[in-house]
């Protein structure tokens, strides 16, 4: 026997009762699947543009393009001669190719939205600060971490776009007094 409310629902929606288990399974699947990290938990697009890897990742982590909104990427690509204090200028072909790829994937990570963070820095985004709020802010300045932009210091899967808590590591050489932030499960 089906409960009354289900009977009412199925008749109202014109659904056959045989469809119900399938629908329930589908609903369950939707709940289980994280909405954003659909690609095996990776924030990186399935195909990383080789030019992005070659040009940008020569100096820093290949940051997932979804972690900044389109206006931020456009500004960054328009000012590579003064890229956070470094000349990162590119020739026209790579500039265009990388720019298009960044635009395609911009803003797709979690709650990035369309509002550019201060200085177009991922690390100044509200969601980034929220996720790291429990850390002692002095940790960013430690030699073993270098800066908040050095994701790999703690996120061992960062190169592959994976930032799960499961893949956190305690940076080699970091003072033991920070250890407590890594042992909170």
Partner 1 sequence: MTKSHPQVRSPALRVALLCLLAGTAAWPALAVDTSAAEQLARWNTAAGAAGNAERGRVFFANQQGNDLSCASCHQAPPTRDGKHASTGRRIAPLAPAFNPLTFTETAKVDKWFRRNCKDVLTRECTPAEKSDLMAYLVSLKP
Give the interface with partner 1 as residue ranges (CB under 8 A): 49-51, 54-55, 58-61, 84-91, 94, 97, 146-147, 149-150, 153
How far apart are alpha carbons 12 and 22 in whole angstroms? 18
Supply the minimum distance, in Å, between the C-beta of residue 89 and partner 1.
6
Supply the minimum distance, in Å, between the C-beta of residue 173 and partner 1.
12
Supply the minimum distance, in Å, between the C-beta of residue 145 and partner 1.
9
Supply the minimum distance, in Å, between the C-beta of residue 20 and partner 1.
38
How far apart are alpha carbons 9 and 108 in whole angstroms? 35
Instruction: Give the nearer residue to partner 1 in terms of CB position, either 25 or 86.
Output: 86
Residue 39 pairs in a beta bridge with: 42
Number of neighbouring beta carbons within 10 Å of residue 55: 19
How far apart are alpha carbons 49 and 59 in whole angstroms? 16
Supply the minimum distance, in Å, between the C-beta of residue 17 and partner 1.
40
How far apart are alpha carbons 29 and 116 in whole angstroms? 33
Instruction: Give the nearer residue to partner 1 in terms of CB position, either 20 or 51.
Output: 51
Instruction: Give the nearer residue to partner 1 in terms of CB position, either 20 or 95.
Output: 95
Instruction: Give the nearer residue to partner 1 in terms of CB position, either 36 or 61.
Output: 61
Contacts of 4 (CB under 8 A, 6+ apart): none
């Amino acid at each position: 026997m089906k409960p009354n409310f289900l009977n009412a629902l199925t008749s109202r929606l014109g659904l056959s009762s045989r469809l119900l288990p399938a629908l329930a399974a589908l609903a369950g699947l939707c709940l289980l699947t994280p909405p954003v990290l659909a690609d095996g938990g990776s924030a990186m697009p399935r195909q990383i543009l080789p030019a992005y890897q070659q040009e940008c990742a020569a100096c820093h982590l290949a940051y997932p393009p979804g972690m900044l909104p389109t206006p931020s990427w456009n500004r960054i690509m328009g000012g590579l001669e003064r890229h956070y204090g470094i000349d990162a200028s590119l020739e026209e072909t790579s500039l265009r190719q990388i720019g298009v790829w960044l635009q395609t994937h911009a803003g797709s990570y979690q709650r990035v939205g369309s509002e550019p963070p201060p200085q177009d820095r991922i690390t100044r985004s509200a969601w980034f600060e929220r996720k790291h709020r429990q850390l002692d802010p002095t940790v960013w300045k430690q030699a073993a971490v270098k800066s908040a932009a050095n994701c790999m210091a703690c996120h061992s899967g960062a190169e592959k776009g994976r930032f799960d808590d499961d893949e956190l590591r305690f940076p080699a050489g970091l003072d033991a007094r920070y250890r407590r932030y890594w042992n909170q499960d």
